[in-house]
Structure 1
Amino acid sequence: MSEEFEIKNKVASSGLINFDLADLVPKGERKGIDLKDFLFMEMILKEKDFREKVEAIPTAEYENTYVYIYNSADAIVPLWAYFLITAKLTDITKKIIFGTREDLEVILMHNAIQTHDFDELKDKRVLVKGCSDQEIPENAYIELVEQLKPIVKSLMFGEACSNVPIFKN
């Protein structure tokens, strides 16, 4: 094929680095524990019954998982109740939090971004992928910009064919 008809990939030759936040999403199963299941009539915490139910938690089901504890009942639960469940599971789970599944994802992405080594992006032109097969919390994009702004040459968002310039250093 002659050079005048050669197809060139301008994106590949541009020095643009594609960064996909989905690559930082921690792998592993997410499991929720609803405190209402530990309450008498889903309303009242009876300490003895609560302790028995916590002791009966099938720990094998939570091994190497990410766990979020929440309360779907309209009941006031003392803080020590969360302590008991956490003490039961903390040695076998990857992470355990109080909140929703969404809260868990925000915390996991926060930890992933804070601990990721971004050195390979130093002084580079970076394009953060705009579409992902995984749901990424919006806060993760904010934290990513905080991490990248001091080190990258420029930052864009979207896809190579249609991106939005964010900043240039």
Structure 2
Amino acid sequence: MEIINKIDASGIQTLDLRSYKPDENDVIKFDIVPFLIEDFLLQEKAFRSAMSAIDWTQFTGKDVVILCSNDAIVPLWAYVLISSLLAPHAAIVVYAATGNYINLLWTERIRRIEFSAFINQKVVLKANSSIPEEILVLATSQLTKYVQTLMWGEAGSPLMIYKRK
């Protein structure tokens, strides 16, 4: 008698959003403070000179967070300049005023999923309480554009969330 795996036979694909979560060690933090005079004053000429001296290729393919680690008042154009210099090299560039940059990067990674690979598929979002609501909502809003069926939980006993009519 042959044993049949009903989960495999069902054609359900499991999407584990945790696999898109950035690892703290893979994130490069670009702190603007070392480029400020006495850590608080941005002088345009010196700042532009410092930015032009950086080898931006070191950020190729990396997730980069631009931040200011103190209370300095930095003109917005400085962040725009840094972002424009990073953009041709880095995989993802975000700004984080707080320590929650991991979720910002995670969100960007979810946005970059090729959801069209799930056209007319049965997909279960793997349940895990460590996945933030904003990640779940974003993935769900994208998946429902493509999937036939969206479920939550485990492939063996999923909870029906959405079914295309």
Task: Kindly state the Cα deviation for residue 137 of structure 1 after the two structures are TM-superposed.
Answer: 5.3
Alpha-carbon spacing, 1:90–1:153, altered in 2? closer, same or farther (3 Å) = closer
Match for residue 118 of structure 1?
116
Assess if the C-alpha contact under 8 Å between 1:105 and 1:137 holds in 2: no
Aligned to 2:107: 106
The separation in 2 between residues aligned to 1:7 and 1:82, in whole angstroms, is: 59
Residues 63 and 151 of structure 1: CA distance in aligned 2, closer, same or farther (over 3 Å): closer
Deviation, structure 1 residue 76: 0.9
SS in 2 for 1:118: helix
Which 4+ residue blocks in structure 1 deviate beyond 4 angstroms? 22-26
Distance change >3 Å, CA 102–CA 53, structure 1 → 2: farther
1:148 to 143, 158, 162: 143
**TM-score scaled by structure 1?**
0.73
User: For the residues of structure 1 that align with 2:146 and 2:78, how far apart are their CA atoms?
Assistant: 44
- 2:77 corresponds in structure 1 to 80
Matched to 2:107, the amino acid is V
Per the normalisation by structure 2, the TM-score is: 0.74
Q: How many residues get paired? A: 158
Whole-Å Cα distance in 2 between the matches of residues 16 and 77 of structure 1? 50
AA partner of residue 166 (structure 1): I
Structure 2 CA distance for partners of 1:38 and 1:141, relative to 1, 3 Å: same
Distance 1:109 1:14, change over 3 A: closer
Partner of 2:4: 8
Name structure 1 gaps, 5 residues minimum.
none
- Distance change (3 Å), C-alpha of 1:121 and 1:17: farther
After superposition, residues 19-168 of structure 1 pair within 5 angstroms as 19-21=15-17, 29-99=26-96, 100-110=101-111, 112-113=112-113, 116-118=114-116, 120-122=118-120, 124-131=121-128, 138-168=133-163
| 1:109-145 alpha-carbon deviations (Å, 9 max, x no partner) | 22x14xx2425441x33212235xxx86542321222
Q: Percent identity?
A: 33
Structure 2 distance, partners of 1:119, 1:85, is 34
Q: Which structure 2 residue ranges, 5 or more long, are not aligned?
A: none
Return 66-75 or 88-97, whichever deviates more. Answer: 88-97
